[in-house]
Amino acid sequence: MRRRLRALSRELGARDPRRLGEQLALIVDGAYGRAVTLGGAGLERELLEMVTLVVDAAIEPRRA
């Protein structure tokens, strides 16, 4: 999974694909733990928002 997340991070244009991949893996791991202990209610919305923030902060802005 970590290799795939790093590859996706490169495709997105992350400044540091390794770091972004690790951050995304951490989010995935946390999501599994949260779903197991607290249930999945509302988890998808929160995950999408968090991933969007992390990815937006990690990618180079596209020039027009």
Per residue in 52-63, pLDDT (tens digit) is 999 999 997 765
- Cα separation values, 13 from 20, 38, 40, 56, Å: 10, 34, 31, 10
Computed over every residue of the chain, the mean pLDDT equals 89
* Region for 60 from its dihedrals, namely left if φ exceeds 0, alpha if ψ lies in -120 to 50, beta otherwise: beta
**How many whole angstroms separate alpha carbon 48 and alpha carbon 26?**
14
Confidence (pLDDT) at 4: 97
Percent of residues, the chain, with pLDDT higher than 90: 66
Distance CA 64, CA 59 (A): 15
pLDDT at 40 over 90: no
